[in-house]
Structure 1
Amino acid sequence: MGLGSISFILIVGLIIIALSVFFTFVPIMLWISALASGVPVGIITLVGMRLRRVIPHRIVNPLIKARKAGLDLTTNQLESHYLAGGNVDRVVDALIAAQRANIPLGFERAAAIDLAGRDVLQAVQMSVNPKVIETPVVAAVAMDGIEVKARARVTVRANIDRLVGGAGEETIIARVGEGIVTTIGSSKTHKDVLENPDSISHTVLNKGLDSGTAFEILSIDIADVDVGKNIGAQLQTDQAEADKRIAQAKAEERRAMAVAQEQEMRARVQEMRAKVVEAEAQVPQAMAEALRTGKLGVMDYMNMQNIMADTEMRGSIGKMGHSHKHSDDKNK
């Protein structure tokens, strides 16, 4: 192979590489598609998107769709929203849906809703086709102590103006549940709620529960109402059981105090008996000492013995008379 042939092959290879890089970096087919759709986008603009790390087809394709729908959008608007982290295709679809439904929605508003984390297309669809939110079972107690369980279906419509900064579905469910509890709790009997479940709907709707939320409540329908437990009777039973336990505890406390006092008295009696025994044990010694020292004469001692014997005899006679009387009473 000659030098000329090698040079030719190198030149062809370099041309192929250059064309590959060119067609990879410059989306010619996308540019042709835009021109065919009547959306003039310059090659320089597409190259600039590449340099700004913007995927061109994510800007051009939504722009073509918007122009075909009659929306006056520019590449700068879509590109700035893309660079901000937004979903350009969803915003354009939402603008087209809003235009078809005669809902006033501008690009800046739609872009703000999208950047706030809301699904702007779903919001537009909910503005046209309201959504039904079903609450979980809410239990409340009427004034007569009977528990009532209710479940509601809330029909809401998205409020475009309050989507940014407005509360979501969880707030609607919580507020409706609070309204149900309030209505049931203010009813005199559970029968009033069962007979007129629509009273819950009227009371809840009059509270303006959709203020500060991203939705507008259209209606609240009570889907199901059931009777639960007799909470009043259960509370009374629990209170009676608690009172019973308190009384038992107090009685046990009094019994323990009585036992402690009895034990204390027994201890005192034992102590007194010990002292008496100790004193009686000292009497003979004292008498012997008195006789020895002459403080007590023999006659005095004999008189004292006679008195003690007489006292003991009288005591014996008294016990015998008492026992005879007790036997007569039993015989009778």
Structure 2
Amino acid sequence: MDPTIFTLLIVVLIIIALSVFFSFFPVMLWISALASGVRVGIFTLVAMRLRRVTPSRIVNPLIKATKAGLGLTINQLESHYLAGGNVDRVVNALIAAQRANIPLSFERSAAIDLAGRDVLQAVQMSVNPRVIETPVVAAVAKDGIEVKVKARVTVRANIERLVGGAGEETIIARVGEGIVTTVGSSNSHKDVLENPDLISRTVLGKGLDAGTAFEILSIDIADVDVGKNIGAHLQTEQAEADKRIAQAKAEERRAMAVAQEQEMKARVVEMKAKVVESESQVPLAMSEALREGKLGVMDYLNMQNLNADTQMRNSFGKAPDDNKSGHE
């Protein structure tokens, strides 16, 4: 074999061997830890590799914790990493809490992190309170005038209640409920406009932060506007509804009257038909009476004279216009 090729092959094998060695034996990380005063064995780092733990994710936060004087162990950090937590964020939160003189243990910070909350942000909110702005809350005073209120709530994270405590949505909902209650109990919307701090005092007195992960420091009314006249609007709608009911009842009475009129007309027509039918039977009855001898000729003539006299009397009783129109 050519010596040059052999030498090149040896170099390649050495590079591969060193790469495999340094991948399982993080020597540089071990040296950095020793230089920072963190005592960790090289075989401990190799064991992390075998447990599928990235050594830098454990050693670098441990170096920060050691420099800050937290006194954490590598087993604590590795167990939190294996549980699915963010080791670096927990260590940063512990350092921030120590600098701010906030009592926070590793177990509690790890529990907060595993609960899905940002423990570092919670510590920062404990130092620097956060302002939450509520949406516009519409409420109606006793005089029927709508009042629109927007509030700003200053809250501070309560680390003791971060695990199991309600979030910002609960705070916003409770503040909105307090605003509606306060405005609704006011006799006039002018009272709310003149004293908007009444809302703040009433809402703060209800203890809205109970059971939440926050502590309410203050509630400030940012904006108060007058909305619609809900009372007048409701009265207008009620009047319109009453008018429609009255119209429906009137239409019902009219329909009943028309039906009764039609029924009476039908009865009159029926009675006239019966009269005509009865009158048509009279000549037949008279002819039958003449044949049987029950009615004489003189009786028939007297009845004809009586009919003629009746018709004459009826003609005398009519108005001149009726007689004229009758002749025409």
TM-score, length of structure 2 as denominator length: 0.93
Aligned residue in 1 for 2:44: 45
Distance 1:83 1:287 in 2: 126
Moved more, 34-43 or 292-301: 292-301
Aligned residue in 2 for 1:55: 54
Aligned residue in 1 for 2:202: 203
Aligned residue in 1 for 2:309: 310
Distance 1:223 1:9, change over 3 A: closer
Aligned residue in 1 for 2:113: 114
What do the CA deviations read for 1:14-65 (whole angstroms, capped 9, x no partner)?
A: 4432222111222111111111111111111111111111111111111101
2:296 aligned with 1:297: yes
Residue identity over aligned pairs, in percent, reads: 83
What do the CA deviations read for 1:236-274 (whole angstroms, capped 9, x no partner)?
A: 111111111111111111111111111111112112222
Give ranges in structure 1 of 5+ residues lacking alignment.
Answer: 325-332
What do the CA deviations read for 1:156-202 (whole angstroms, capped 9, x no partner)?
A: 00000100111101110110011011101101111111111101000
Aligned residue in 2 for 1:86: 85
Matches within 5 A, 1:141-152: 141-152=140-151
Distance 2:294 2:86 in 1: 128
The letter for the 2-side match of 1:98 is A
CA drift at 1:12: 5.2
Aligned residue in 2 for 1:181: 180
The letter for the 2-side match of 1:175 is R
Aligned residue in 2 for 1:327: none
CA drift at 1:105: 0.4
CA drift at 1:11: 5.5
2:230 aligned with 1:231: yes
Give ranges in structure 2 of 5+ residues lacking alignment.
Answer: 324-328
TM-score, length of structure 1 as denominator length: 0.92
Aligned residue in 1 for 2:165: 166
Q: Cα RMSD between the aligned structures?
A: 2.0
Distance 1:159 1:241 in 2: 54
Distance 2:154 2:319 in 1: 103
Distance 1:27 1:258, change over 3 A: same
The letter for the 1-side match of 2:199 is I
2:74 aligned with 1:68: no
Q: Secondary structure at the match of 1:199?
A: helix
Aligned residue in 1 for 2:33: 34
Aligned residue in 1 for 2:263: 264
Distance 1:203 1:248 in 2: 48
Distance 1:267 1:26 in 2: 114
Q: Secondary structure at the match of 1:225?
A: strand
CA drift at 1:321: 8.6
Distance 1:288 1:27 in 2: 143
What do the CA deviations read for 1:199-254 (whole angstroms, capped 9, x no partner)?
A: 10000000000001000001111111111111111111111111111111111111
CA drift at 1:322: 11
Matches within 5 A, 1:211-226: 211-226=210-225
Distance 1:8 1:21 in 2: 20
2:127 aligned with 1:128: yes
Aligned residue in 2 for 1:255: 254
Distance 1:196 1:279 in 2: 92
Runs of 4+ in 1 over 3 A off after TM superposition: 4-16, 320-324
Moved more, 273-282 or 95-104: 273-282
Distance 1:12 1:319 in 2: 146
Distance 2:320 2:32 in 1: 139
Moved more, 272-281 or 93-102: 272-281
Distance 1:233 1:153 in 2: 31
Q: Secondary structure at the match of 2:101?
A: coil
Moved more, 125-134 or 38-47: 38-47
The letter for the 2-side match of 1:213 is T
Distance 1:147 1:173 in 2: 20
Q: Secondary structure at the match of 2:246?
A: helix
